[in-house]
Structure 1
């Protein structure tokens, strides 16, 4: 089965920059002028929730309301996805690499490598709330829920679990060649982040003019404009805008001190590992409600 180790996972918790990374890679790696718009990204990458692969794996139209059924069909669907292109190719996933019902959700037999895109949980919470069409407290409940699952109407599930466990499981997966990208670093210096990814991890030569064009074509404003003009088929039902703010630091306007304190408390070890620069600012902010109460 080693010949099916073709999938390079583009993995993330939802609303962490996966769509941006996919469009950037498409604009850089595809021939000039052929990169797809945001609604045709499957021309470049596929995703692990594609119903056509589940139908083919099952031999009939796939439909269930049981996660156990999904787990049984998923390995065969992923083998078909891996075999769908002759060489290494990118596949989007929001799943955590764990075992469910004794089955690997990210099977080593189809996996070549992974790019993990993460976003700090303070900015993630309001964005995830929009994605889930819920209030921020409910979004934080879901980010801290060890059994958090999303699913399509046909019952193709995405097992997320807690945000911190999502980060941890991808970063400790045995024998997995992994490259981590922080969304905040992408915002600050996308060219530097992409050069490191392309050259050091994917072992691709750097074409500076093409990279500059790709960065310009996939700026947040450009993607936002595409959504306004064409819509976005991956946007969940009920969500008004998929590309809403795309900034770092929005948590200061969007979250209450109590919400900041709760996220800090829930995810402190992961924050210490991946976002040490945010610890002091969020600590002071989360304590400001106590100061206000006392005054």
Structure 2
């Protein structure tokens, strides 16, 4: 039986840096000058919402009306994705690694490992509100909704769940080789973070000149410029710009004390584990110190 444990998941809650990580890895691993732009990333990575794989898995143009219909086809679509390249390859997902209708959303049979990218919820909320085309309070409510999901017109869903549950399920999934990257650390020290990812996790000897080139070609300004010049196919139709700010700490200008307090109270245990340095400042800002 063919071993299909080839997928290295690039997993994240939406607007946490997944596109940046994909472009970084593409520019590092592909020959100089051949890495795809943001609209052709499928030349290097694919995603678990590809319509063509679901069509092949269903044996017809795929269209689901329910989560159960989606999950009936997803395992086969993921096996096709895993088999689409002869060895390990990266696949983007925003889904939680949970079980639905007796099946794993992230099946072990196609999984080699995972890179999990997380971003603090205070900075994520404004970006998520733009992505969802809703106001900030609604975005925060959705980030706290256990059954939060998104989906295409044909019923290819992404089971997000709550932000804190998303972090917990990915960072504690039993038996899953994983490497966790905080978006803020990548912003502050891209060379150090990528060197650790490549050497310690992917077991790749780092070529410093290649890494410097990859980081330079995929700066936030460079990605923003690409979107301005060429558009971005993954940008929802209502969004003016997918790459809006790309900074850490924007929550101080974008959120009210009440909104900071909601996020802090709702996600406190995960914040204590992954963002302890933010606890005092956010408490003071929210007036709960």
2:112 paired residue number: 112
Matches within 5 A, 1:36-47: 36-47=36-47
TM-score normalized by the length of structure 2? 0.99
Paired with 2:133 and 2:225, the residues of 1 have a C-alpha distance of: 22
Matches within 5 A, 1:13-162: 13-162=13-162
Aligned residue-pair number:
289
1:178 paired residue number: 178
SS in 1 for 2:10: strand
SS in 2 for 1:96: coil
Report how far residue 237 of structure 1 moved.
2.0
Paired with 1:81 and 1:46, the residues of 2 have a C-alpha distance of: 8
Deviation string 1:118-160 (CA, Å, 9 cap, x unpaired) is 0000000000000001000000010000000100111100000
Deviation string 1:213-243 (CA, Å, 9 cap, x unpaired) is 1000000000000000000000112111100
Residue 9 in structure 1 maps to residue 22 in structure 2: no
Paired with 1:236 and 1:72, the residues of 2 have a C-alpha distance of: 27
Point out 4+ residue stretches in structure 1 off by more than 4 angstroms.
none
SS in 2 for 1:4: coil
Paired with 2:200 and 2:17, the residues of 1 have a C-alpha distance of: 20
Paired with 1:99 and 1:239, the residues of 2 have a C-alpha distance of: 32
From the superposition, tell whether residues 101 and 86 of structure 1 become closer, same or farther in structure 2 (CA, over 3 Å).
same
Paired with 2:117 and 2:64, the residues of 1 have a C-alpha distance of: 30
1:293 paired residue number: none
Report how far residue 2 of structure 1 moved.
6.4
Paired with 2:2 and 2:161, the residues of 1 have a C-alpha distance of: 29
Paired with 1:282 and 1:250, the residues of 2 have a C-alpha distance of: 13
Report how far residue 64 of structure 1 moved.
1.7
- What runs of 5+ residues in structure 1 fail to find an aligned partner? 291-295
Paired with 1:65 and 1:248, the residues of 2 have a C-alpha distance of: 38
Indicate if the aligned counterparts of 1:2 and 1:110 stay in contact, CA closer than 8 A: no
RMSD (Å) for aligned C-alpha atoms: 1.0
Paired with 1:66 and 1:139, the residues of 2 have a C-alpha distance of: 23
Residue 251 in structure 1 maps to residue 251 in structure 2: yes
Indicate if the aligned counterparts of 1:2 and 1:109 stay in contact, CA closer than 8 A: no
Matches within 5 A, 1:161-200: 161-200=161-200
- What runs of 5+ residues in structure 2 fail to find an aligned partner? none
TM-score normalized by the length of structure 1? 0.97
1:263 paired residue number: 263
SS in 1 for 2:3: helix
